[in-house]
Chains A and B, each alone.
Chain A
Amino acid sequence: MTGEARTLLQMRGICKRYPGVQALRDAELEVRAGEVHVLLGENGAGKSTLMKVLSGAVQRDTGDILFDGQPADIPNPAAARRLGISTIYQELSLVSHLTVAENIFLGKAPTRWPGVVDWKRMRLDAARILESLGTALDPDAPVRTLRLAQQQMVEIARALTDAARILVMDEPTSALSEREVAQLFATIARLTAGGVAVVYISHRMEEVFRIGQRVTVLRDGSHIATRNIGDVSVPELVKLMADREVSDHYPRRMHARGEELLRVEGLGAGRHEVSLVLHRGEVLGIAGLVGAGRTRLARAIIGADPVEHGTIAIRGRPVRIDSPAAAARAGIGFLPEDRKQHGLVLGLSLERNVAMSHLGALSRYGLMDRRAERREAETAITTLGIRTPGASQRVLHLSGGNQQKVVLAKWLAAQAEILIFDEPTRGIDVAARHDIYVLINAVVAQGAGVIMISSDLPEVIGMSDRVLVMRGGAIRAEFSSQDVTDAAVLQAALGMAS
């Protein structure tokens, strides 16, 4: 794949701003016909946003896209498909009870006369396309009977019926076995031999070298470098991905590590097990890539998901935690990543949400003490600085930062001493982030212990006293705040010897 392959796509100076986040600033990407171009970057580096711009799912603020040398406007996904740009997302978008052939030709079935599907031709065409991909799927099999890897093939086949010239694949191998990966790579090789370009997003370094011809690294929404795979090494790529000015917007605090608060030993299901210790006055960061098992760990600790083995001790005493209610009684509060789905009842008022974690303590003989409930909510509004017209405001109407404060208030009011934050600042704008950091430090200063799961490397490094790195459901490395670096954490998260 050397020489003067034709440039198929050029994206230049792409900027995209979301409320509170500059997702892309001057991002660039140049893709040649027939190449596999790897897009690398940390979580939040802007890979997905750049691909959404390309596929018409979001609109760029500024910047140019040239397709085949022509300026291209991509206002919606249909326009992208007309140009020949197809995207295969991690979550597949097939209709599970329809057949393979029906899915491949969904919305564009061949017809004999208007409105009458030509089933025979559809099956034949589907079989032909599948064969060209090197797979022998039955066109009449319902999609729900297929394995994930096979469903992925159906998605690829569907992209080909759009005469795809660029295929974007977002972490296609994250759920595949090694054999299935090999087959997928063989299919990709067939496609590129036919002149199709593949933009391949992955975290897995070994794949980058196995399949890619060129690589573009994004960091903080900006284009960092584009290299031929033959000209770079793994450490070089890691440095390109991680190297940044360590900004000083994480508030400093005096840490006074106290007694042991939480001890988890061998907790997990199947082969996976995790042990960790959390002290009073400590922020324990847990880093790792998406899918490393961090949220699963948090949910296991609070009894939200069943575990097969392991023990938990709080302040040295063993406890049995088999439900979130038991965790709440034991003083463990969980602040989930998806606040709207898992953290709050959006239709209820602030005070009702705050009370939800400790209805027992707020009541006597099942009867709510409404004055105490109101008092607690009002205290929380003042001490946490929640911006709301009042305690009876529905949390639906609050901003992301204020919603997170309500979730925190819920656990502080329940007098939880162990707080588990999962991605505490996801979807929260910069100013409100700072508030959250200050609050985390404040609760730690008062003797609580905080576990902070975060995919945001600067955040987890800037806030934590110790950082654990997870990969494949297990803890792979531990760093103290003195010797932690971005590159070291990233290497441990990616699974490379340093």
Chain B
Amino acid sequence: MTDDPQAAAPPRLKAQRARQLGTFAGLLALCIVLWAATPHFLTVSNLLNVLEQTSINAIVAVGMTFVIISGGIDLSVGSVLALSGIALAAALEGGVPAPAAIALALATGTACGLVNGVLITFGRLPPFIATLGMMSVARGAALMLAEGRPISGFTEGFRALATGRVVIVPAPVILTAAVYLVAHFVLARTVFGRATYAIGGNEEAARLSGVHVRFHKTAVYGVAGLTSAVAAILLTARLNSAQPTAGTMYELDAIAATVIGGTSLLGGEGTLVGALIGALIMGVLRNGLNLLNVSSFFQQVVIGAVIIGAVLIDMSLKRRR
């Protein structure tokens, strides 16, 4: 009758780092294969291109990671992205100065997220249902606002958000890095971050311990809306156009990036570093398959298989622990 049956079990951090290392090894292996397969992959311009293309999905995945760590899911991020983009474009078109239009877009996304959160916490709807509804509402609102057509043509100054470069690094890459740094800090160092993990790990225990569950849970969905809006700004600037149909299926890419990065859909664990690596794996894969002239139909098959394979490997590693 020993008191600590598994005293030798590895501390949490070590195990988590080991898993992240595994995902990172997967990314490296993928890069090596592509480097061997095509001379066009490992060039500075192509790698920067991959990073730039990945930035949108990577930013949406930040909010998704918060939500999934808290034990929920957000299906509305793609539609909220579209609505935020249209709000931004409509404001710019109407002559609103760019900073104010950007603030409006961020507020739109955050508000959609908070509505999700309130429906889930105070309305007690399952996250799947609440955000499924929001997915349709936000998409419809975007289409109505834009009257079904894209809104195009913005100032150079605004477009610099996507086209600008610092030395050779594209602005979106720097913006993505900034989003990740801030979000990582929030998750690791703040009360909000602690609460997010606690709620996802065991909501009732967190509540009985005095954690303000409703407040924090609502805020988590607000974060998802906010990062969708950031992605919308970037996408609008890059395309010089906001489409009401933008962001379709982005929720699935974001979920995929998050789970490839080792975040459990059951909640309570996961990291942003993992989500970033997950998003990069998907970006590199798409880029590589394009360089290899793989048909876009078959690309989908490969990407689906990679998602399933990554989670299978992750789960079998977890079981062995």
Mark A residues whose CB is within 8 Å of B: 19-20, 302, 304, 324-325, 327-329, 334, 336, 341-349, 352, 355-360, 362-363, 366-368, 370, 387-390, 392-394, 397-399, 401-402, 410, 414, 429, 431-432
Contact = CB atoms under 8 A, between A and B. Distances in A.
Contact of B204 (A341, A348, A358): A341
A217 to B, nearest CB: 29
B211 A342 contact: no
A347 B195 CA distance: 13
A389 B1 CA distance: 18
B205 A394 contact: no
Nearest to B268: A347
B8 A389 contact: yes
A473 B307 CA distance: 53
Interface stretch (B32-40, B170-178, B184-192, B293-301): B184-192
Contacts of A429: 1
A415 to B, nearest CB: 12
Given A344-B202, A363-B191, A357 B4 contact: no
Query: 5 closest Cβ contacts across the A-B interface?
Result: A328-B210, A345-B201, A345-B202, A387-B4, A397-B6
Contacts of A348: 12, 197-198, 201, 268
A197 B193 CA distance: 59
B207 interface: yes
B189 A414 contact: no
B95 interface: no
B182 interface: no
Contact of A359 (B2, B3, B194, B207): B194
A454 B201 CA distance: 28
16 contacts: A304-B208, A341-B205, A342-B204, A344-B205, A345-B268, A356-B198, A356-B206, A359-B195, A359-B211, A366-B192, A389-B11, A392-B12, A393-B12, A394-B12, A397-B7, A431-B1
Contacts of A329: 210
Contacts of A410: 209
A392 B16 CA distance: 12
A325 B190 CA distance: 18
Nearest to B5: A399
B194 A355 contact: yes
Given A324-B209, A368-B191, A345 B198 contact: yes
B9 A324 contact: no
B268 to A, nearest CB: 5
Contacts of A360: 191
Contacts of B198: 345, 348, 352, 356
B208 A370 contact: no
A389 B7 contact: yes
B212 interface: yes
B268 A367 contact: no
A431 to B, nearest CB: 7
Contacts of B204: 341-342
B13 interface: yes
A342 B12 CA distance: 21
Contacts of B12: 348-349, 392-394
Contacts, number: 121
B310 to A, nearest CB: 21
B251 interface: no
B271 to A, nearest CB: 13
A402 B210 contact: no
A345 B9 contact: no
A394 B6 CA distance: 11
Contacts of B4: 387-388, 397-399, 402
B7 A388 contact: yes
A356 B201 CA distance: 12
Nearest to B211: A356
Nearest to A359: B191
A366 B185 CA distance: 12
Contact of A325 (B191, B210, B268): B210
B269 interface: yes
Given A20-B1, A325-B212, A347-B201, A390 B11 contact: yes
B1 A352 contact: no
A265 to B, nearest CB: 23
Contacts of A349: 11-12
Given A357-B210, A389-B8, 14 more contacts: A19-B1, A304-B208, A325-B210, A342-B205, A345-B198, A345-B268, A347-B269, A352-B197, A356-B194, A356-B206, A358-B210, A387-B3, A392-B13, A397-B6
A362 B206 CA distance: 16
A305 to B, nearest CB: 11
A346 B202 CA distance: 8
A402 B4 CA distance: 8
A220 B74 CA distance: 52
Nearest to A328: B210
A298 B7 CA distance: 33
Nearest to A414: B210
A357 B191 CA distance: 11
A342 B203 CA distance: 9
Contacts of B6: 397
Nearest to B215: A325
A368 B197 CA distance: 14
A336 B7 CA distance: 25
A302 B198 CA distance: 19
A462 B193 CA distance: 43
Interface in B133-185: none
Contacts of A355: 194
B315 to A, nearest CB: 15
A150 B209 CA distance: 39
A358 B197 CA distance: 15
Nearest to A304: B208
Nearest to A334: B208
Given A388-B4, A399-B5, A324 B207 contact: yes
A240 to B, nearest CB: 31
Nearest to A400: B3
A329 B5 CA distance: 35
A344 B198 CA distance: 9
A414 B211 CA distance: 12
B210 A399 contact: no
Residue of A388, A389, A390, A414 with highest tally of chain B CB at under 10 A: A389
A348 to B, nearest CB: 5
Interface in B212-227: 212
Contacts of B201: 345-348
B207 to A, nearest CB: 6
A362 to B, nearest CB: 8
Nearest to A432: B3
Given A355-B194, A363-B191, A393-B11, A304 B207 contact: yes
Nearest to A339: B205
A308 to B, nearest CB: 21
A377 to B, nearest CB: 13
A455 to B, nearest CB: 20
